[in-house]
């Protein structure tokens, strides 16, 4: 390939890229005031390259005029630098903020160009590899000097911006400096013939890279869409270089294989045909990809707006049940088929098309069931939707954890306040109660008995209040369960109530003996209070094992608890029992949770009333000296 033709191809490629980039910057950078000036720089680069092509094509007047318009390139870049550096919280020096400098410089630039045109600032000569090439003469040297000074001024402004800015803006400025150094190295070959050096301007062949590096270095940190564009551009450029290398190899092998006609085809033509074929493939890739997607996944077209709608709707859910309902409705509306979604704590609603989301040791996973007979398009939408649903599950899980932590914090704060109030009340109430007890000593026996009974009730109420509101200090040890139960039961006034104890000998609990007695006394007292007046009243205490834990049941055949009271059983100051404080079951729950266990009311065990106590039996998880609040 002739050197002049190679030069033309380079200038044509640079000019085409510059025009495309100028249009793209004007379209994509409308919200950033510095981008139009950079688009002007790219447009002038296109005209400058077009001037060199015109000279090679024997249009000297047009070509010289375009090349002598060279100062507009650094002028636009200077304009861009001023706006780019000043666009932010960091102000420019006062001399750049007056607003009159740029119009003056544009006027001077226009004057220099006009003088260069009128004064014959350039001419065309033959040079190495060219029958016609531009050189400066006369006032044209002033044109060149002014161009260089504008470029220096623009980079001085960028240096000032580098000093006052940080982050992405500073990175952009560094990229511009690196690209400017590369551009200066390439541009030096342009003036070889003007200096009397009969050298071919090889560096100018790489001029397209300067424009791409400069613009990409600027906008990659400012306009994110350019990064996706650059990713595709680098991919296709790599493919182009690979095809060119392959064509060179094929051209060298054709003669050895006896294909003389094909081997006689110039390598430049093979490269040109290959490049055109690759460019045609790049242009057809997107529509062909969409066509293939429609053929393979009919009815499965997804776009960004639909995915954003799905994501927004799913993230509004405040509970697992709501998330499952929203997810099922969204996908059912999209596919026009019934789709059910199962999530943790949302219940099993598997019917027809089903999506199951669960969490295991490796994280959140989904499973599609019933989708084997649907079309690939529906299957694709189900897979994409399930992936979005997993993301919403992670977000909801974190949200619920934060809400639970905040609730526990408020509960703990409430207990601290209640504990301080209870201690003060106990102190203030026990003093007058002691005075009443002493004064009652001289009253008749019957009256004294009633007073003593009410004093015990008041003292029990104070003790319960202190137990509920104070911190629980556990002294845990191995304690035999059956002897403990026998001791507690022997102290009760059964009054004809039958009690069955179904606890094996040798069974031990790792727990606080005093606190466990509190739990069992509260439960047996409640049971006796409700079934003492029943015919054939019975209480049964039994144990079971559950995966290493111990379940202790306290049953009675007294009247069943009303369903509307189930949710409030363990809340403080809620009582069905006459004379009760309403704190017994609340204290039981606090003690059990302090041990790492739990208590619940059961109605499915064959007794009207059953309470289940779960004791965790992992001593390593509990120290022998624990001061633990239930709400931690």
Residue ending a domain, among 295, 329, 349, is 295
Could you tell me if residue 540 is inside a domain? yes
Could you tell me if residue 632 is inside a domain? no
Distances (CA, A) of 537 to 525, 527, 540: 14, 10, 10
Question: For 305-326, how does the pLDDT look when each residue is reduced to its tens digit (9 = 90+)?
Answer: 888 888 899 988 888 889 989 9
How many CB atoms sit inside 10 A of residue 326's CB?
Answer: 19
Question: For 113-165, how does the pLDDT look when each residue is reduced to its tens digit (9 = 90+)?
Answer: 999 999 999 999 988 878 888 999 999 999 999 999 998 988 888 888 888 88
The confidence band for 526, taking pLDDT boundaries of 50, 70 and 90, is confident
Contact 626, 589 (CB under 8 A): no
Residue ending a domain, among 362, 397, 432, is 397
How many CB atoms sit inside 10 A of residue 387's CB?
Answer: 11
Specify whether 26 is located in the same domain as 149: yes
Domains of the chain: total: 4
Could you tell me if residue 111 is inside a domain? yes
DSSP character for 286? H
Specify whether 567 is located in the same domain as 613: yes
> Does residue 211 or residue 40 have the better pLDDT?
40
Using alpha carbons, select from 52, 71, 72 the residue that is nearest to residue 63.
52
DSSP character for 296? H
Q: Which residues of 456-469 are buried (b: 16+ CB within 10 A; e: fewer)?
A: eeeeebbebbebbb
For the record, the structure tokens of 625 come out as: 């000296």
Residue ending a domain, among 244, 272, 295, is 295
Contact 395, 343 (CB under 8 A): no
Using alpha carbons, select from 269, 210, 207, 281 the residue that is nearest to residue 53.
207
Least confident of 140-149, 187-196, 447-456, 478-487: 447-456
Q: What are 473's strand-pairing partners?
A: 627
Could you tell me if residue 607 is inside a domain? yes
105 vs 122: CA distance, rounded Å: 23
Specify whether 100 is located in the same domain as 218: yes
Mean pLDDT score, 428-450 = 76
Could you tell me if residue 600 is inside a domain? yes
Question: Is it the case that residue 264 has pLDDT exceeding 60?
Answer: yes
How high is the mean pLDDT of the chain?
Answer: 78
The confidence band for 207, taking pLDDT boundaries of 50, 70 and 90, is confident
In the chain, count H helices and then E strands: 19, 14
Cβ neighbours of residue 206 under 8 Å, at least 6 residues apart?
10, 186
431 vs 454: CA distance, rounded Å: 15
The 3 state secondary structure assigned to 536-575 is CCEEEEEEEEECCEEEEEEEECCCCCCHHHHHHCCCCCCC
Structural domain span for residue 207: 3-223
Specify whether 217 is located in the same domain as 242: no
Question: For 559-617, how does the pLDDT look when each residue is reduced to its tens digit (9 = 90+)?
Answer: 888 888 877 777 776 555 554 556 778 888 888 888 888 899 988 888 989 999 998 87
Specify whether 620 is located in the same domain as 558: yes
371 vs 156: CA distance, rounded Å: 64
Question: Is it the case that residue 525 has pLDDT exceeding 90?
Answer: no
Specify whether 244 is located in the same domain as 315: no
Contact 120, 138 (CB under 8 A): yes
Specify whether 218 is located in the same domain as 255: no
In this prediction, residue 338 carries a pLDDT of: 87
Distances (CA, A) of 239 to 244, 314, 347: 9, 41, 53
* CATH number of the domain to which 564 belongs: 3.30.565.10
* CATH number of the domain to which 150 belongs: 1.20.1070.10
Specify whether 182 is located in the same domain as 259: no
What pTM does this model have?
A: 0.44
Could you tell me if residue 10 is inside a domain? yes
Mean pLDDT score, 251-264 = 65
In this prediction, residue 62 carries a pLDDT of: 93
Could you tell me if residue 523 is inside a domain? yes
Specify whether 219 is located in the same domain as 240: no
Burial of residue 413, with CB atoms counted within 10 A of its CB: 0-12 exposed, 13-18 middle, 19 or more buried: exposed
Question: For 531-553, how does the pLDDT look when each residue is reduced to its tens digit (9 = 90+)?
Answer: 877 778 889 999 988 877 889 99
Could you tell me if residue 554 is inside a domain? yes
Specify whether 143 is located in the same domain as 7: yes
Mean pLDDT score, 93-102 = 60
Question: Is it the case that residue 228 has pLDDT exceeding 60?
Answer: no
Specify whether 529 is located in the same domain as 574: yes
């Amino acid at each position: 390939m002739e050197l002049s033709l190679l030069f033309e191809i380079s200038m044509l490629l640079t000019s085409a890229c510059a025009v495309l980039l100028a249009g793209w910057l004007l379209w994509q950078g409308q919200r950033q005031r510095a981008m139009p000036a950079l688009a002007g720089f790219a447009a002038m680069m296109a005209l400058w390259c077009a001037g060199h092509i015109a000279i090679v094509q024997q249009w000297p007047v047009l070509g010289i005029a375009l090349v002598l318009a060279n100062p507009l390139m650094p002028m636009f870049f200077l304009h861009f630098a001023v706006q780019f550096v000043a666009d932010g919280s960091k102000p420019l020096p006062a001399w750049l903020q007056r607003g009159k400098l740029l119009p003056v410089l544009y006027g001077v630039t226009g004057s220099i160009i006009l003088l260069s045109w009128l004064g014959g600032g350039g001419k065309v000569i033959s040079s190495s590899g060219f029958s016609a090439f531009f050189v400066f003469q006369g006032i044209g040297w002033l044109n060149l000097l002014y161009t260089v000074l504008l470029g220096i001024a623009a980079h001085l402004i960028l240096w000032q911006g580098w000093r006052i800015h940080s982050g992405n803006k500073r990175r952009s400025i560094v990229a511009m400096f690196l690209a400017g150094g590369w551009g200066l190295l390439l541009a030096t070959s342009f003036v070889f013939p003007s200096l009397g050096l009969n050298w071919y301007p090889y560096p100018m062949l790489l001029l397209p890279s300067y424009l791409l590096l400069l613009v990409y270095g600027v906008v990659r940190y400012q306009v994110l869409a350019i990064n996706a564009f650059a990713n595709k551009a680098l991919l296709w450029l790599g493919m182009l270089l690979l095809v060119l290398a392959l064509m060179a190899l094929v051209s060298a092998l054709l003669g050895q294989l006896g294909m003389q006609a094909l081997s006689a085809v110039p390598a430049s033509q093979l490269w040109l045909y290959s490049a055109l074929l690759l460019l045609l493939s790049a242009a057809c890739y997107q529509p062909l990809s969409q066509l293939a997607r429609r053929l393979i996944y009919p009815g499965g077209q997804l776009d960004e707006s639909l995915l954003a709608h799905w994501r927004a709707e799913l993230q509004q859910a405040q509970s697992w049940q709501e998330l499952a309902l929203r997810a099922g409705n969204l996908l059912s509306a999209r596919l026009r088929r019934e789709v059910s979604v199962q999530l943790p704590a949302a219940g099993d609603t598997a019917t027809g098309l089903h999506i199951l989301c669960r969490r295991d040791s490796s994280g959140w996973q989904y499973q599609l069931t019933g989708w084997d007979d649907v079309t690939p398009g529906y299957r694709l939408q189900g897979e994409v939707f399930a992936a979005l649903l997993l993301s919403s599950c992670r977000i909801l899980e974190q949200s619920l954890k934060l809400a639970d932590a905040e609730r526990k914090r408020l509960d703990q704060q409430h207990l601290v306040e209640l504990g301080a109030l209870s201690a003060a009340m106990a102190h203030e109430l026990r003093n007058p109660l002691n005075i009443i007890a002493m004064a009652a000593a001289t009253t008749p026996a019957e009256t004294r008995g009633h007073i003593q009974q009410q004093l015990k009730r008041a003292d029990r109420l104070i003790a319960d209040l202190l137990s509920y509101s104070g911190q629980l200090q556990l002294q845990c040890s191995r304690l035999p369960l059956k002897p403990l139960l026998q001791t507690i039961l022997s102290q009760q006034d059964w009054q004809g109530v039958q009690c069955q104890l179904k606890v094996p000998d040798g069974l031990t609990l790792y727990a606080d003996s005093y606190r466990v007695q509190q739990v069992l006394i509260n439960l047996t007292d409640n049971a006796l209070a409700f079934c003492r007046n029943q015919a054939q009243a019975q209480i049964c205490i039994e144990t079971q094992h559950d995966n290493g834990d111990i379940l202790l049941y306290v049953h009675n055949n007294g009247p069943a608890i009303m369903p509307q009271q189930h949710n409030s059983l363990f809340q403080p100051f809620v009582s069905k029992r006459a004379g009760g404080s309403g704190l017994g079951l609340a204290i039981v729950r606090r003690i059990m949770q302090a041990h790492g266990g739990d208590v619940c009311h059961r109605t499915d065990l064959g007794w009207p009333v059953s309470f289940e106590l779960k004791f965790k039996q992992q001593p390593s998880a509990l120290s022998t000296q624990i001061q633990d609040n239930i709400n931690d």
